[in-house]
Amino acid sequence: MNSTAAEPELAEPYLREWLSTVGLDVEYVRAEGNTLYFLDDGREVPVLDYAGGYGSLIFGHNNPEIVAHAKALLDGGSPVHAQFSRHPYANQVATALNRIIHRELGTDEPYSVIFGNSGAEANEAAIKHAELDRVLRIQQLGEELAAHVEQVRAAVADGTARVSGRALAAAGAEAGEDPLEALLAGVARHNAERLARPPLFLALEGSFHGKLVGSVQLTHNAGYRAPFGALAAQARFVPIGRPEELKRIIEEERAELLDLVVTDGAVEVVPRAFPVFCAFLLEPIQGEGGINVITAEFGQAIQQACAEIDLPIVIDEIQSGMGRTGAFLASSLIGLRGDYYTLAKSLGGGIAKTSVMLVRRSRYRREFELVHSSTFAKDHFSCHIALKVLEMLEADDGRAYRTAGELGEKLTAMLEAVRADFPDVVKEIRGKGLMLGLEFHDQSEGSDEGIRETARAGFLGYAVAGYLLREHRVRTFPTASAANTLRFEPSTLISDAEICQLGSALRGVCSVLRLQDGKRLGGA
Ligand code: F0G
């Protein structure tokens, strides 16, 4: 059915209205390579797309090789729904992922793979798996402690051990008529309090791990997160580049259970580390939070701090992975090793919606497979598309990775040249490969009222995006949680001419900001 102007807007009506105020409510009717097309008087108007599906299009829109593969799958009657059967193609995806990851990480430890449908879902699978692992470890610890209590009871009963005042003090217990019962009650009270604590996560300030119930609590932006705080486990957020803060938070939250042992005829209280934290989630290059790159030094500090408390690291490569930064995993470029990895976006080749969560074998809990599933995950169609994408990335000895790296250098050089010409407007260029950001100086004290107000409302980047689309037919967005930063995530097909076009467009908007021409910029 065709929509008519008289039809009420029911699909996210407020978002639609807001998009129209900045001129971004364009309907695209066709997409190819780095170009999206809209219709103007029946004629197609091309728009150069640097948003790249928020990083979902490493090989561009409707890549012919991927589309041909998809057509062949559909023509061949690909069984999209064949749940609870053999999925050799899913295993092929897992094998291909392992081969690539082993090469990049220099390890041969296998990673088990759980499939999902979106980025947030992959992170939620990681969150759930890490919690299952924590719960099972706590269960085991609880069983050990219970066995020790029985041993202590027996030793006291047969007179080979006695309860000392020191043990009672360590358990916060008062010596009553029966010192053993007093000690056991003290220990039980202490342990019950620790065991009742909900799990805690660690994440970085500026992080974005999704907007579902669990993952949104690990997303730093309070606007997304705060209203839903009561629905899921919480995170402590560590400022980027501040390992001492990470140490302080770990120290602040640490907890111990009390264990009992008999030594030299005395019952002693021994503290045992209690796993307060469930996992540390991080993006090696933050996308939505402003294209913030984690350094190798900070990565190492995190790795070390987590190893010290046996805390698994979940590396969210949903945006930075799949070759975008010149390697399959951006984290491999800084020598960071994850216990878990999550991938989505470009894994679906720009046409399928699929995601994966990988867990290294030494952490893997096979019980997870019985408690986590999705109707749509691991289907024949999206697995075969993912396989095709992985094959294309790996072709010609990894030409796609090299291309992403080289094009990223060209794009960075162009952005740096713009910054050099407009140092009063452009604050910084950040990122790696084809995941780049350009931050504008704050305009909230600008001389033009329109620009000032737009900046104060946090919409500068959106007004700039509207201007770039309207005046230069270039599509890019600010990183939503850092609205002064534009991000550029084109495909590996980006040409010199397309890089030039972005350069001219950016120079255009920089002039508008330098001249404080609010009318020309437009905006909210
Ligand atoms: N993790 C990262 C690093 C992401 O960039 C995103 C989405 C997600 C998880 C969630 O994935 O949307 O498939 O559920 N990032 C988009 C962005 C929305 O704006 O960068 P999803």
Crossing angle for the helix pair 64-75 and 380-421, to the nearest 10 degrees = 160
> Probe ligand 1: pick from 288, 325, 353, max atoms within 8 Å of CB?
288
Residue type, 105: L
pLDDT of res. 306: 98
Dist. CA 48–CA 161, nearest whole Å: 79
Q: Is the distance from the beta carbon of residue 127 to the nearest atom of ligand 1 less than 6 Å?
A: no
Dist. CA 478–CA 486, nearest whole Å: 4
Q: Is the distance from the beta carbon of residue 124 to the nearest atom of ligand 1 less than 6 Å?
A: no
Q: Is the distance from the beta carbon of residue 118 to the nearest atom of ligand 1 less than 6 Å?
A: yes
Dist. CA 500–CA 411, nearest whole Å: 9
Chain centroid, CA 319 distance in Å: 7
Q: Whose CA is nearest to atom 11 of ligand 1?
A: 119
pLDDT of res. 524: 47
| Residue of 377, 395, 380, 333 whose CA lies nearest to 113 | 377
Q: Which helix (H) or strand (E) holds 224?
A: helix 222-225
Edge to edge, the sheet with strand 35-40 lists 28-32, 35-40, 43-49, 474-475
Strand partners, 48: 35, 474
For the chain, 524 residues long, give each residue's pLDDT as a single digit of tens.
Answer: 445 567 888 888 888 888 888 888 899 999 999 999 999 999 999 999 999 999 999 999 999 999 999 999 999 999 889 988 999 999 999 999 999 999 999 999 999 999 999 999 999 999 999 999 999 999 999 999 999 999 999 999 999 999 999 999 999 998 778 999 999 999 999 999 999 999 999 999 999 999 999 999 999 999 999 999 999 999 999 999 999 999 999 999 999 999 999 999 999 999 999 999 999 999 999 999 999 999 999 999 999 999 999 999 999 999 999 999 999 999 999 999 999 999 999 999 999 999 999 999 999 999 999 999 999 999 999 999 999 999 999 999 999 999 999 999 999 999 999 999 999 999 999 999 999 999 999 999 999 999 999 999 999 999 999 999 999 999 999 998 888 999 999 999 999 999 999 999 999 999 999 999 999 998 54
> Probe ligand 1: pick from 124, 208, 374, 488, max atoms within 8 Å of CB?
208
Dist. CA 130–CA 314, nearest whole Å: 9
| Eight-class DSSP state of 375 | T
- Contact between 199 and 131 (Cβ < 8 Å): yes
Q: What is the pTM of this model?
A: 0.96
Dist. CA 201–CA 233, nearest whole Å: 7
Name all domains of the chain by residue range, CATH numbers in brackets. 13-62+442-522 (3.90.1150.10)
> Probe ligand 1: pick from 293, 318, 343, 353, max atoms within 8 Å of CB?
318
Crossing angle for the helix pair 380-421 and 88-105, to the nearest 10 degrees = 40
For residue 314, give Cα distances in angstroms to 186, 341, 443, 471.
36, 6, 36, 41
Q: Which helix (H) or strand (E) holds 175?
A: none
For residue 196, give Cα distances in angstroms to 56, 188, 189, 276, 327.
41, 12, 11, 11, 42
pLDDT of res. 523: 55
